[in-house]
Structure formats: structure tokens, C-alpha cells
Structure 1
């Protein structure tokens, strides 16, 4: 069994289809970060293990899900319907085979609307900084990803906001991990859900601010 951590804030409209896409042998851990739309109840009704995370912040939810996981290899993905979870083996299999320590899903948008220009540009700049500063050959920060649970915990990640995904890559690179990248499909968010990051310029700016603080440390 492979645990899949799904940080969640008001994703009730997306969760049924998201959870239906889990491949055999994968278990969803929905880290509910204070949803007010019944996301936790929806997740439970569709077979997910739900962890209530009162501390607000994407990183707080992601890390709480990691702590709740019990599998050797753990995956992460967004809960908004933008990823096809049937593709989780693309990121998990290289880790299971020990061909890589951390694998990121490089987003390949299905439509132009899937990834707004401002968010794509910010991601490209951060990925370029990773290649330049840490010699990590990635082109996307890859919200869909996989690594071994005990190794992730040993990285001692501290960020509890939007810098958490980047901190994971930075800490892995500094620890000498082999970081890999595979293509995954990227679709528009499920109808009836609202982006906390890429949907607005302000949200993207906040994420870049949090991530820049990680790079500055």
C-alpha cells in the first residue's frame, strides 16, 4: 500500500472524482486544513483517511499528512482535480525501484486554461534558480511527487506555508538525493473549486514570497 497525501482546503466539489481515480494499492490521506464546505465528510464517504489539521498553511497540511502516513513510499498531490491520480505510479515506481530518491511530476497542461501564465512564469523562474543554484535538473516544482517517508522525515522540513514543496526539493538536493522528473497531465481545477495559489496573481505572489524565503535560508 502506498499512501497519497492530499492537502485540502474546501475541495468538496473535487474530491469524489479525485478519490475515484486512485489506482489499486494506493490509499488517500486527506489532510483537511480547516475546510468549511464539508470536505472531510466527503473524503470519508469516499474511503479516504482524513486528518484534521488546525494549523493553517499548505505545508502544515502536507506535513500532517506525511506524519499520518504509514507506507514506506509516500506520494503527494493536489486535491483540486487538476491531476489524474491514475498516473501516480509514474512518480512512485522510480522510488520503489530505487532509481530515484524524490520524483516530481512535470506538469504538461491539457489546455491553456489549466496553468495561468503568471503561475507558469513564477514556477519556471523558481525551477531555473534550482537548476542554477543547486544543480537539480528539474523544470517544474511538481506538486505530484513521491519519496520514502522515513527519508522525508529525516529532512526535518520546517516551512508550514507555501514554501514547503520547495523546501523539500532544496533539502533533498543538499542531502545528496537523486531527484528525478517525469511527465504528468495537468488539467483545469474541478468546477466549483477555487485556487488558493495559481488562480490569482496575489495567490501566486504569496507562494513565490514563501518559496523565496526558503531559497534565502
Structure 2
């Protein structure tokens, strides 16, 4: 019997985190690790822990997520970072509203376990961006978090184009434009294993915000 939920895990050099991340995913869910150019053996580790491994040759967060979405076969897809920052036991928090038919898209709102779990520059950038988004499109979300769930066919039907850091915002904007019911639930957020390629550095954060502002201009 196929899984009712596929878990898409974008991955770039996450060898240190993958064993614990994959071990914590419920047996009823299928893990799809999308390798985006790792050089640390991440794909081999993912296979060893029973994950399906696919590759996204074009570098970028959106590229990895889209490759995972295309590889998914379950009716519901949940996307989550593979860096150990989330508790995989909480995937059901974002999946359940979709499964019950209460929402079309559900975000996990990050609740940091410590100050180091979510760098202050990244938290501030997220806050500023979301204030603008709430004012611009009237969507009451507090976090554009990397844990989120929706139905696979509906996601593909949105025709998302961004293949970099603007992908999550394009998803929110297009979902809003299509009158999706958008929900948000709290999820625990802890310090990731290793350094983030995006929010772990000021330069990466600036690039992500630049991508998202470009997306806002496109849909304004």
C-alpha cells in the first residue's frame, strides 16, 4: 500500500542531520530526499535510512522542492528542511488540517527553543517581510516557515516558477490568488545541525529577502 503522505526534504550537505531526521519520520510516511549538489555523502546516507533519493541539478531551494514534488506520488505532500531544526514527530500538525479537509495549505509557525535556534537577523527579516505580506494581501500568517503541507495535485496546479528562495512566498501568493484556505499551526524549532546555507549567514539572508521582494513586486 502506498503512503498517504510524502515528505519532501531538500538537501545540500546534511550528512550530520539526516540519520536522526529520517529515523524520526513515521513509518506510514515516505521520505523523499532531494539532493541539490551534496559533496558529503548525503544521498548514500539517505538511502541507508530507507529514503527515496532524487536529484535536482539546478541549484536552489525552489528547484529542490519542485523536484521532490514531481517525484512524489502520495496525495498529500509535506515539505520540511533536512537539517534537524524540526521535530519530525510534529509533521502531523501540518498534515492533519489538510487530511481533514479543513485547509488547502498549512504552514508550521516556528516556535524557537532558544535564541540560537533562529538567528536574530533571520527572525527580523522574516518579521518585516510578513508584516508587509499581511498588509499587502491580507493573509494572517506569522511565519513563512519551511514546514508546510498541501495536496500534491493542487500544488502542481499552481504552476510555481521560482526556483530559488522566493519559492515559499510565491506559493503563498498564488495560493491566496486562488482562494485557498491557508492555515498555520505552531511547531517546535531548534538549532540546526551545521550552518545554514541561507539564514546562517547575513549574505544568505539578504539574498533570500531579495528573492522574496522580487516575488512581491511580480504579484503586486
| TM-score, L = length of structure 2 | 0.96
2:91 & 2:29 partners in 1: Cα distance?
9
2:187 alignment partner, SS class: strand
Q: CA deviation at 1:194?
A: 2.0
Number of corresponding residues: 215
The counterpart of 1:142, out of the listed 133, 142, 145, is 145
Counterpart mapping for 1:48-63 below 5 A: 48-63=51-66
Q: CA deviation at 1:15?
A: 0.2
2:129 & 2:85 partners in 1: Cα distance?
21
1:128 & 1:11 partners in 2: Cα distance?
31
1:43 & 1:132 partners in 2: Cα distance?
41
1:109 & 1:41 partners in 2: Cα distance?
30
The C-alpha deviation readout for 1:21-79, integer Å capped at 9, x for no partner, is 10231111000001001100000000000001111111000000000000111000000
Who is 1:115 aligned against? 118
The counterpart of 1:16, out of the listed 11, 16, 19, is 19
Counterpart mapping for 1:145-164 below 5 A: 145-164=148-167
Who is 1:213 aligned against? 214
RMSD: 0.7
Who is 2:40 aligned against? 37
2:202 & 2:46 partners in 1: Cα distance?
29
Q: Which runs of 5+ in 1 are unaligned?
A: none
2:214 alignment partner, SS class: helix
The counterpart of 2:170, out of the listed 162, 167, 178, is 167
Counterpart mapping for 1:199-210 below 5 A: 199-210=200-211
| TM-score, L = length of structure 1 | 0.98
1:86 & 1:24 partners in 2: Cα distance?
11
Who is 1:106 aligned against? 109
Give the 4+ runs in structure 1 shifted more than 6 A. none
Q: Which runs of 5+ in 2 are unaligned?
A: none
